Amino acid sequence: MSGSSVWLMKAGRNHERHRFDAWVRDGYCAVGFGEVTEEIPADLPNDSYGKARVRAIVARHLPAADVTGAAGSLFNFCARMRTGDLVVVRRDDDLHFGEVTGRPESGAAHNEDDYARRRGVRWLGSRPCPSELRPSTNRHPTVQYQDRNAEAFRDLARDCDASGGGTKPRAAEAAPVKVGRLTLVPYTRQDADVSVAQAAPGAADATKVTRAHRLHRTLLGDLADAAVSRDLRVWTGRDKGHAYDLLWSGGGALTLCEVKSLTEENETNQLREAIGQLLDYADDFRPKGLRRLAGAGLDLTVTTRVRRVLWVSHPPARAKHWSRVCEGAGITLGWPGAEARVFPQPAPVSTARSPSGLTR
């Protein structure tokens, strides 16, 4: 490790923790820029010619404003990084260390986190980030060579390696699922204590928007907890232009759930929008879509029943009307306190008497 280069990397945005979980679990690190579909040569030279070649490839796929940063990161990852180099990833207040073990590989098909290029990594463990190193790790591109604090990073990495790994990054209990354009991520509860800054004059009231965001996250978290308590597997995900609030699988069904917070002013629009979203989303899970998921570990088959649930913050003012509308669209409407509406109920125990007179 002595004399090796040190590379600071970002495993996606703050909310994309599933990416780094996959890195640790499967032993690799990766870079994105999936728009750059053209192959970067495996024998790319680490010189000005190689850098110019990467820049030319990137320029054919990205807007001019994005070329410099993307080309620099891809050149670093594909040409400059070497086996034995040190990779450092900051998550919250911890630094996670790994040793590069492989050459670059391309092809997002085998990457659960959908990053297009990766290298093998032996993850060593993690240590709390010293205050003197935090400025250098607060902001950086996908791949950045770090020379100024290289020896400090190496010392922390050696300490991890010598102690057998230190505090290992904790992987998610269930792995993300990616099939085609569909990505499902195990749901993790988000902090509801969020704030939204006031935008330009005339924009939506930041106080109201903050209240709505907090309520939405609370509704999501409470409903997800209720599903988990019933031994259901809970996900959040996206497919093409769709973003699913919650999905849960189990009990012989897959449930798509849209969550809405209601106010007196927005109730009608929120309900109409949610009904449209659910009808649109359900089309992603026709038998063809379910066939793609059949081998993804979700216990689904092409005959799995797909349910649609609209979960709102409280009973609508015209609850009977909206329940009837939802029922006609094949949607179950529910709210806190009405969980029995949306979760599968256990089969009733038969109390019929046998010919011998015994209850069975």
Hey, what amino acid is at 299?
A: D
β-partners of residue 94 are: 91, 128
Report the alpha-carbon angle 234-177-231, nearest 5. Answer: 25
Residue 333: per-residue pLDDT: 96
CB 159 within 8 A of CB 125: no
Residue 10: per-residue pLDDT: 86
β-partners of residue 233 are: 249
Q: Tokens in use for 298?
A: 């979700």
Residue 32: per-residue pLDDT: 82
Q: Encode the chain (360 residues) as per-residue pLDDT tens digits.
A: 666 899 999 887 766 677 788 888 888 898 888 788 888 887 888 889 989 999 999 899 888 888 888 899 999 999 999 999 999 998 878 889 999 988 888 754 444 556 778 888 999 988 888 887 876 765 566 788 888 888 889 888 888 866 655 444 443 445 677 776 777 777 776 666 655 454 445 545 667 777 878 888 889 889 988 988 888 888 888 776 778 889 888 877 889 999 999 988 889 999 999 999 999 888 888 777 777 777 666 777 888 888 999 999 999 999 999 999 999 999 999 999 989 889 866 545 555 554 444 444
Nearest to 6 by CA among 151, 197, 192: 151
> CA 223 to CA 246: how far, in whole Å?
9
Hey, what amino acid is at 202?
A: G
Residue 279: per-residue pLDDT: 92
SS3 readout for the chain = CCCCCEEEECCCCCCCHHHHHHHHHHCEEEECCCCCCCCCCCCCCCCHHHHHHHHHHHHCCCCHHHHHHHHHHHHHHHHHCCCCCEEEEEECCEEEEEEECCCCEECHHHCCCCCCEEEEEEEEEEEECCHHHHHHHHCCCCEEECCCCHHHHHHHHHHHHHCCCECCCCCCCCCCEEECCEEEEECCCCCCCCCCCCCCCCCCCHHHHHHHHHHHHHHHHHHHHHHHHCCCEEEEEEECCEEEEEEEEECCEEEEEEEECCCCCCHHHHHHHHHHHHHHHHHHHCHHHHHHHCCCCCCCCCCCEEEEEEEECCCCCCHHHHHHHHHHCCEEEECCCCHHHCCCCCCCCCCCECCCCCEC
CB 34 within 8 A of CB 108: yes
Paired sense of beta strands 253-260 and 242-250, if any: antiparallel
Residue 55 has φ and ψ, to the nearest 5°, of -60, -40
Residue 337 has φ and ψ, to the nearest 5°, of 100, -15
Hey, what amino acid is at 255?
A: T
Nearest to 123 by CA among 174, 171, 75: 171
Residue 170: per-residue pLDDT: 41
Contacts of 205 (CB under 8 A, 6+ apart): 198
Residue 175: per-residue pLDDT: 64
CA-based max dimension of the chain: 91
Contacts of 329 (CB under 8 A, 6+ apart): 275, 278, 279, 308
Nearest to 172 by CA among 99, 218, 233, 213: 233
Residue 109: per-residue pLDDT: 44
